[in-house]
Amino acid sequence: MSRAEAILTAAQMRAAEQAVFATGVPEYELMERAGAAAAEIVWRAGGKRDLLVLCGPGNNGGDGFVIARLLRARGVPVRVAALGESLTPSSLKARACWAGPVEDIFSAAPATQIVDALFGTGLSRGLDPALADRLCALTASAGFSYAVDLPSGVDTDSGALLSAVPAFGICVALGAFKPAHLLQPSANCWQRLICADIGIDVSAATVHRLSPPPMFPPKPLDHKYSRGLVAVVGGEMAGAGQLASHAAAHSGAGMVRHIAHDLVGGSPDAIITQKADGAGDVGRLLNDARFKAVLVGPGLGLDQDATARLEAAMVSGHPLVLDADALTLLAGKGVDAIPAGAILTPHEGEFVRLFGDLPGSKIDRALEAARRADAILIYKGSDSVIAAPDGRAMIASGSSAWLSTAGTGDVLAGLVAGRLAVTGDGYRAACEALWLHGEAARRAGAAFVADDLLVELPAAIASRL
């Protein structure tokens, strides 16, 4: 993974910085790098428009003094407002290098541009209400606004808003993304997110931002079975199973069989629909070693017949994707009932039913659940987290809010099953499917229905070949 994709917690970032210092790089040199990187971004976005830099007492404030000094040298009319005295050795040095006056933040006049360098990462409590209100007012009055590392008032690891946080134009992540850059609600506090390289080694990071995955066309000698055979086990709601089957068929898999509770029209002729009157039929139809993935859950139902169909799928011996009703049924049986190696796709409610109210950030909860279940998780939402039992995780952010409509989860589940059949790798399949789902939504635009995503999938896949 590239530097720009790595995600570090506050503690991991401190450790990464200490590793830099251990090589002989002074702490202040890292502050100069951070300030220079942020100053360049401000310069490119706002040019010589007048600027107010808000500096806190710690190293984030020191970054602000560096930004102010460097931009003044470029001819930007810069003013600095601070909370009080600087308190760390590096911030004291940065303040001493600033030749201009330092105003009081509560009396400073607004400016066309504003930089929030008050607290950044590592904040454990919210801002004083008066300070939070002042930050919001100054930011709202500016035409260009920038947060250095994180807006002041954001919890670095969870993304929680500890106090009122204004909306910024640009957030500059220093050295690596932090969880709050991608988790809600904090990820909604800026319009654009930029990661600035300051020389931090992030090669050991196990959590990354989901990026466009490389994908590959079929080989010349491939056929429908070598490209992956998918089964979708349907239930009482035929439409959900159909949507999932359509998505699997458009995922790059070679063949899809929809094992349906009832036969209904509307499926592409290329999808093989087979009627299963009960669990016995499901088991018989799944008795084919060529299946590379079996999806069960969309439209399955919650009655005894649904439970029996789920059990037939789970004992089939094929790689499993479990979604929707399958997760609700499993919640009543406990985590130990989840087949090892399966891919689970819970939304918030299904996650809590399965694993309870786990502590920590959404990333922490996803990783702990994946470890307990020995399964791959796609913990869905506007900040979906993919987690593996070995500690790897991916975060997808910025997905279309129009995905909050019926059937889009069925499409995602079908994509996961299809990519699992193609790749044979659960974690990779989850990452590819989630990215394709988001890209199809982006291409579909506004006010789409789940069926519209299917039309966009071939072009989304083609864009990654």
pLDDT in tens, 223-261: 999 999 999 999 999 999 999 999 999 999 999 999 998
Q: Is the dihedral of CA 245, 246, 248, 254 positive or negative?
A: positive
Mean pLDDT of the chain, nearest integer: 96
Q: For residue 185, is the peptide bond before it cis, meaning its omega torsion is within 30 degrees of 0?
A: yes
The residue written with tokens 């079996």 in the block is 294
**What values do phi and psi take at 258, rounded to 5?**
-95, 110
Angle 253-271-226 (CA atoms, 0-180°, nearest 5)?
Answer: 30
**At a CB cut-off of 8 Å and minimum separation 6, what does 145 contact?**
113, 114, 115, 116, 139, 166, 167, 168, 169, 170
Question: pLDDT band for position 2 (50/70/90)?
Answer: very low
| Pairing mode, strands 291-296 and 272-275 | unpaired
Q: Taking phi first (over 0 means left), then psi (-120 to 50 degrees means alpha), and beta for anything else, what does residue 183 get?
A: beta
| Residue 3, pLDDT above cutoff 70 | no
**What values do phi and psi take at 271, rounded to 5?**
-85, 125
| Residue 171, pLDDT above cutoff 90 | yes
- Give the model confidence (pLDDT) of 172-193 as tens digits: 999 999 999 999 999 999 999 9
**At a CB cut-off of 8 Å and minimum separation 6, what does 363 contact?**
7, 179, 183, 207, 385, 387, 393, 395
**At a CB cut-off of 8 Å and minimum separation 6, what does 246 contact?**
267, 268, 271, 411, 414, 451, 454
- Give the model confidence (pLDDT) of 200-229 as tens digits: 999 999 999 999 999 999 999 999 999 999
> Tokens in use for 415?
């994509």
Mean pLDDT, residues 422-436 taken together: 98
Give the three-class secondary structure for 368.
Answer: helix
Question: pLDDT band for position 446 (50/70/90)?
Answer: very high
Annotate 1-17 with b (16+ C-beta within 10 A) or e (fewer).
eebbbbbbbbebbeebb
Mean pLDDT, residues 76-80 taken together: 98
Alpha carbon dihedral 291, 385, 240, 422, in 10-degree steps, equals: -20
- Stated length of the chain: 465
The CA distance from 167 to 140, in Å, is 8
| pLDDT for residue 10 | 96
- Give the model confidence (pLDDT) of 319-330 as tens digits: 999 999 999 999
Mean pLDDT, residues 37-54 taken together: 98
How deeply is 271 buried, as exposed, middle or buried, from its count of CB atoms within 10 A (0-12, 13-18, 19+)?
middle
Q: Is the dihedral of CA 285, 289, 290, 295 positive or negative?
A: positive
| Domains of the chain: residue spans and CATH | 3-208 (3.40.50.10260), 229-462 (3.40.1190.20)
Question: pLDDT band for position 398 (50/70/90)?
Answer: confident
Contact 41, 168 (CB under 8 A): no
Question: pLDDT band for position 265 (50/70/90)?
Answer: confident
Give the three-class secondary structure for 300.
Answer: coil
| pLDDT for residue 1 | 42
| pLDDT for residue 288 | 97
Contact 262, 279 (CB under 8 A): no
Q: Is the dihedral of CA 418, 420, 423, 424 positive or negative?
A: negative
- Give the model confidence (pLDDT) of 276-294 as tens digits: 999 999 999 999 999 999 9
The CA distance from 329 to 197, in Å, is 46
Tell which wins on pLDDT, 117 or 1: 117
| Residue 70, pLDDT above cutoff 80 | yes
The CA distance from 159 to 379, in Å, is 16
> Tokens in use for 352?
């809590």
| pLDDT for residue 4 | 52
- DSSP bridge pairs for 81: 54, 103
